[in-house]
Each structure stands twice: as structure tokens, then as C-alpha cells.
Structure 1
Amino acid sequence: MQTKQNWKIVLAILTCNVVLMSASYTMLIPFLPLYLMKELGVAQADVNMWNGAIFSISFLVGAVMAPIWGKMADKKGRKIMAVRSSVGLAITYFLGGIVTSPEQLFMVRVLQGFAAGLWASELAIISASVPMEKLGLSLGVMQAALTSGAVIGPLLGGVLAEVFGMRASFMIAGGALFTISLITIFFVPEPPREAGDTSDRPQVKQRELLRNPVIKQMLILAVLVQMVILILQPIITLYVAQLRGSMDNIVLIAGIVFSLGGIASSLSAPFWGRMGQKKSFGKTMYMAMGGAGICLLIQAIPNRLMLFAVMQFVTGLFFAGINPSISAVLANNTGSSVRGSIFGMLFSAQQLGSMAGPLLGGAVGTYWGLKEVFIVAGVIMILTSTFVCSTRGNVY
């Protein structure tokens, strides 16, 4: 059994890992279209098609593979699956820096989808390593680390691409992921198993887990929440330009405005984790979802950029409470022996949401309007909040 000091050390190490992981994932986003055009020779007329295909294919493959890797984590060990993923991702990022055609980069992203699952592995390790009374706080800290990396990554990626070149940025991201592998190998212990839980114990089938209504509900909510988080991605730059009335320096300004939500989430995630542990994760979840939904609806109202930026920050404060609560409910409703499977399924659900969000946002923005994207997103979050509020007595 791990000592009190040990779980704190594991949490600190995994928090650093997650910051590096998230920054590595997101640091290439600002210049991927430019990389396709300037380094890989894609015509400007075709860049949106290639960018969309290359960006989304790893989500699709990752969604298919995540439950498989999760089941293997339960059987072979969570640490070895984390190392598998971080090494695989490091290799694919190195390959991304040496490709010479968009077809090659597409195949690299396919391989990246097969290597995915590091976040799910980190969640499985931490949920089995910390005392249950510290689970909410720990998941909140991990969520804050994930969001912090997502804020740092695009800013860092833009600077590195400017100073060292776009290909070098792939290499640096690969180096960060390889560093995660070494840290995990040497400093992260395999989490303890529950009494009677052995590697040769008969495995619970994932379809049996899905018969649990709580698990099924949480996975559906994970898809919807991730979809809403990414629904703004295709239209945020255009919406900021519309509010500002100018396209000058729009990429930089839109990036700053978009990052405000991430900064707010990083600050508030530990608070939501503690609140969930103290009050209940059901109450935390529906309050965070409802608050996020109302804020999204309000974001459709402002005609001034400053007001929109303020609401972007406030929205981020609420979003920080959702995913840690979902993770905590899943952990509380499953045994340690299936944590790898359950977080693999959660990762798969989030990958599906990541694919659906930009597609829905682009469609609504094109056929209805940019403000309507925020209205659709807000309505979805309010409906999910209402659902959780009405069922949480059966969940917690």
C-alpha cells in the first residue's frame, strides 16, 4: 500500500507529465496549415481539406483503439501502457518533422492514433494511486495540468516555429514526449491493485461495463461535453474578427481570447475537484454544466470584443468542473481492476466528441451564423445539466 507521501509524489510527477503531454499535442496547431503549404507543397485551395483530414484522422483511430489499450492496461499494467503511448507518440512526432508530402503526414497521424491513450493511462494510474478521499482534488489538479498545457502549447508552438522552424517544432514535441517516457519508467510506480486483483484474473468485458447505466450516462455526457468544448474551434477566429471589425493581427488576438478560457480552467479546476469530494460530484457536475451553458448563451450577445473576452474567461471557470467530475464518477462506480478499460472508454468517447465538435460548429456557423454556434452549444450544456440534476440521486 502506498504511503501518504508516495501518492503526493506520484501526483506531482504525473501533473508535470500531463503539462508536457498537452503542450506537445497542441503546440503544432497554430502552424499546421502553413506547414502543409510551405513544407509539403499543398496548394492553398486544398489546404483546408488536407488540414481537416490530417487533424481528425488521429481522433478517429484513437477512438477505436482506446478501449483496446485500456483493456490491455488492466491485464498487463497501467505503467507499461503509459510508456507504450508516450514512446509511440514521440516516434510519430519525430516522423512528422521529416515527412515530405501530405500523404506521409496523414499516415503519421494514423500511427499517432494507434499510439494515443497517454491521458487515459495517466488517469488510470492516478485513480488507483491516490486515496479515495483525495480523488476529486487529484483529478482536478490533473485537469488543470491538461488545460495549462493546452494554453501553453499553441503559444510555445508559434514561438518555436518562428525561431527554429516548423520541422524543428515537431522534433521538440517528440523530445518532450520521450522525456515523459523516461520520467514514467524511472519515477512512476505501477499503482497497487485491490485485494484479489491479479493480472491473470478473468477480465470483465467492456460490453458488460456498458450495461451499468451510470457508466453509459457518463460516457454519453463525455461525448457531448467534448463536442461543445471543440465546437467553437472552426469559428472563433472569424467571430473575434467580426466583433473587432478588423482582420489585422487576428490570429494572435483570437489566440489570446481563446486561451482565456483555458487559463480560467487551470485556475478553477482544483476548486471544483475539492467541491466534488466534499459536496458530491453530481452537484458539482450539474452546477458546472449549467453555468457553462448560461455563459455560452451570453457569449452570443456581446457586440464588443472586450465583453466577449470576459465571458470567455468566465465560461472557462465553469468548464473546469465537468471532466474531473465525470472521471471521478467513473472511478467511484468501478473497481481498480477495470480502471484501464473504463478510462480507455472515456478517452474514446472524448475522441468522438473531438471529431464531432468542429464539424457541428462549422456546419452551424456556415448555414445559420456565428452567434448561433454559441446558442447551440449553450443549449446542449443546459440540457446535460438538467439531465444530471434529475438523475444524480441515482448516480451518487
Structure 2
Amino acid sequence: MNWKLVLGILTANVLFMSSSYTMLIPFLPMYLTLELSVPESDVNIWSGIVFSASFVMSAVMAPIWGKLADKKGKRLMAIRASFLLSISYFLGGIVQTPEQLALMRLFQGFAAGLWPMELAIMSLYSPPDKLGVCIGILQGVLTAGSVIGPLIGGVLAEYFGMRASFYLAAGALFVNCLAFVFVIKEPPAPETPSNSPKKDQSSFSLLSRPVIATLLCASALVQMVILILQPILTTYISSLAGELPNLVLVSGIVFSLGGIAGAAAAPCWGWFGQHNGFVRAMLMAMLLGGCALIVQGTMTELYSFAAMQFVCGLFFCGIHPSLNSLLAKCTEPSVKGQIFGLMFAAQQIGSILGPILGGVVATYFGMHSVFFAAGAVLIFMSLTLRVNRKRLPAA
């Protein structure tokens, strides 16, 4: 298949996947209260259980699905993930109790793995000199979906009820499944010289490579930094806005500015990494993103905070495309499924730790401190990886 056609189809798939997820997740507390009759006193604990259930399961399953992808085919695993995710969203629309919703999220974590398969397929179809741009475009569309999703979810909830969002998400993921069944073909198998020694292809052998272990740890920490702000960001925006009318709308707009910036800038970071080195792009994005977060934590006025939210989005979106491109370049084609499965598992671990750490820091040191802590982690990562450059690929 032509790599441009593959990129176009996967771009649409990623947009459906990302927007389907984000038009539901921000509204889970409301879903628990309005549709599942959870008392206000219990909604926080149920939100935590429902939110984290998927991350825990997917962190366990992602490496397993990745290993199967390399043995049975990445296209097959993409079909599996999109079809099962479609079923999970449909089940989410018919649940009647919070326990059932938690079970649905566990099943969703079991089904997850579509994003790493999209990356693996694209990395195999993409010409080497276009890898950074392709990964950057997919990352940008993933971010764009995180902006579009809540808007669609809010409109559907207002006019058709919250369950309609689950049914629409189920339909979108089923369309993704059909695209993989009827259009996308399995990437060509890599050619292995007959005299080349056979390598151990287990996940443990991959993790024993210093380069891969370093990149996966970085991926987990970056995801932790992104999610560390989630428990307090809306509350923090509300405290800056004060008695401003349409507070929910204003908070949503400010919240989405980072995603808008990221969607626009991610392909540019991919191009920069392709021409100047992905390591340089990653370290620069980490350093600038960390500094922007610290500055954002000093803002005491809504409009300046909103401006820094946009600036943070410009820098944050340069980290993951560089990490993913480096993982793609430093591994053999025969283990692309495993490596992106491990990457997804690392990000899920970061997604679990981030909100917990953010809540603890905000509780004991104040909400400002969360921005300082997140920024300090990114700056420390950038400087540490720069000093230990030999643990990173030469790209």
C-alpha cells in the first residue's frame, strides 16, 4: 500500500479513537451521578475506581497484545482492539450500576491497544525520511481528538442524553474496525538475512537494552507529568476566574488551549526531529515544557494563565512524537508490536501515578506546587538525559 494512503486512513482512525475516548471520560462523574444514581458523597471514590480500572488492566495487557501482534499480525491486533473497544463503549451505554461501569472499564482496558498498533503499522509503512513527520501527524491528531471529544460529548449530553455519547463512540470504533478489515493491509514482513543469528525477542530482552529501558522510563514519566495536573486543573482555573459568568464554558476553553496548540505544533516537532535529530527535539521540548509549567504556576490572573496553557501545549506535543520515533528507529521491524505495546504500558503506569501524585502534592503543598513539581520533573529529565546521552540512540 502507498504510505500516504495509510497515513490518511490512520489519521482518520486516530481522530475517531481519541475523540470517542475524550467525549466520555471528562463526563464520567456526571454519568455516575445523573445516570447511575451514585450519591454525591460517593461520586469521587467511584470516579477514581472507574477512571483507573482501565489503566491498570491495559498496563498488564499491552505487552501481551504487542507480542501477539509481532507473531500473528499488527493488522489483526488492530481489528481486535477496535472491535472490542466498540463493544466496550456499547456496554457503557447500557450499564445501570457503578459496579457495571467499573467492569466495563476493566474490559476496555483488556481491549485497549489500538494506539500502539496504529504507531507500529505507520512506522513500518513510512519511508525512513518521513517517519518523524508521520508520527508527528498522528500525535497531533490524537491531541486534536482530545479537544474535539469533550465538545461533542457536551452537545450530545445536552440534547440527547449522556448515553448517546457511548453509542456514538461504539459506532466510530466499529468504523475503525471496518477500515482495518477492508482497506488497511498487513505491513510487509521484514526481510531477515538467512545467515543472521536469531535474537531473543522477549519483552524482557527488549527491556534489558539500556536505550529502550531509558526511553520507556522517560515515556512513563512524561505521561505522569501530563496527568499530574488533571486532578487540580479545572479547580485551579475556577479559583482564578472567581465569579466570572459561564464558568464551566470558560474552564473548558482554557483547558482545551493546550490541546489546540499541541494539535497544530506536533507535526512541526516531527519535522524538526526528522531534520535535526529526535533526541535534540525531545530534550528541547522537555526543557521548554518544564520551564513553561513553572512560569504557569506563578500566574495569578486567568488570561495570563490561559496564554501559558497554550504555550505549554506547544512544547509538550514535541515530546511523545520524538520518543515514539526513537523507539521505532532503534528496534527491528519484527518487534515493532512489542515495543509500542511496552510504550503503551509505560504510559498507562504514568497515567495511574500522575493523578495520585498531583492530588497529594496539591493537598499538602498547595495547587501552585503541582505546576512547580511537574516542571521540575521535566527539566530534571532533560538535563539527566543530556548528561547520559550515550543511553540514547544516535538519531
TM-score for the superposition, normalised by structure 2: 0.96
- Output the CA distance in 2 between the equivalents of 1:202 and 1:276: 30
CA positional deviation for 1:203: 6.2
Matched, 1:322 2:319: yes
- Output the CA distance in 2 between the equivalents of 1:240 and 1:350: 26
- Output the CA distance in 2 between the equivalents of 1:197 and 1:36: 56
Which residue of 2 is the match for residue 20 of structure 1?
16
Residue type of the alignment partner of 2:380: L
- Output the CA distance in 2 between the equivalents of 1:382 and 1:197: 43
Which residue of 1 is the match for residue 128 of structure 2?
132
Contact conserved, 1:64 with 1:348, CA < 8 A, in 2? yes
Which residue of 1 is the match for residue 328 of structure 2?
331
Matched, 1:259 2:253: no
- Output the CA distance in 1 between the equivalents of 2:348 and 2:391: 27
Map 1:209-220 → 2, pairs under 5 A: 209-220=206-217
CA positional deviation for 1:394: 4.6
Equivalent position to 1:86, from 64, 79, 82: 82
Which residue of 2 is the match for residue 163 of structure 1?
159
Which residue of 2 is the match for residue 102 of structure 1?
98
Percent pairwise identity: 55
CA positional deviation for 1:63: 0.4
CA positional deviation for 1:74: 0.2
Map 1:264-343 → 2, pairs under 5 A: 264-343=261-340
- Output the CA distance in 1 between the equivalents of 2:217 and 2:315: 19
Residue type of the alignment partner of 1:165: G
- Output the CA distance in 1 between the equivalents of 2:220 and 2:391: 21
Contact conserved, 1:289 with 1:385, CA < 8 A, in 2? yes
Q: Deviations over 1:212-237 (max 9, x none)?
A: 10100000000110011111111011
Q: 1:317 to 1:278 in 2, by over 3 A?
A: same
Map 1:12-161 → 2, pairs under 5 A: 12-161=8-157
Contact conserved, 1:232 with 1:373, CA < 8 A, in 2? yes
- Secondary structure of the residue aligned to 2:340 is helix
CA positional deviation for 1:393: 4.7
Contact conserved, 1:75 with 1:203, CA < 8 A, in 2? no
- Secondary structure of the residue aligned to 2:201 is coil
| Greater Cα offset, 296-305 or 251-260 | 251-260
Equivalent position to 1:366, from 363, 372, 376: 363
CA positional deviation for 1:358: 0.9
Q: How many residues align?
A: 390
- Output the CA distance in 2 between the equivalents of 1:276 and 1:350: 21
Contact conserved, 1:285 with 1:388, CA < 8 A, in 2? no
Q: Deviations over 1:297-346 (max 9, x none)?
A: 00011111000000000110001110011111111110000000000000
Residue type of the alignment partner of 1:280: G
Contact conserved, 2:210 with 2:391, CA < 8 A, in 1? no
- Output the CA distance in 2 between the equivalents of 1:310 and 1:197: 54
Matched, 1:352 2:349: yes
**Structure 2 residues not aligned, in runs of 5+:** none
Alignment root-mean-square deviation, CA: 1.4
- Output the CA distance in 1 between the equivalents of 2:26 and 2:127: 39
Residue type of the alignment partner of 2:332: G
| Greater Cα offset, 303-312 or 30-39 | 30-39
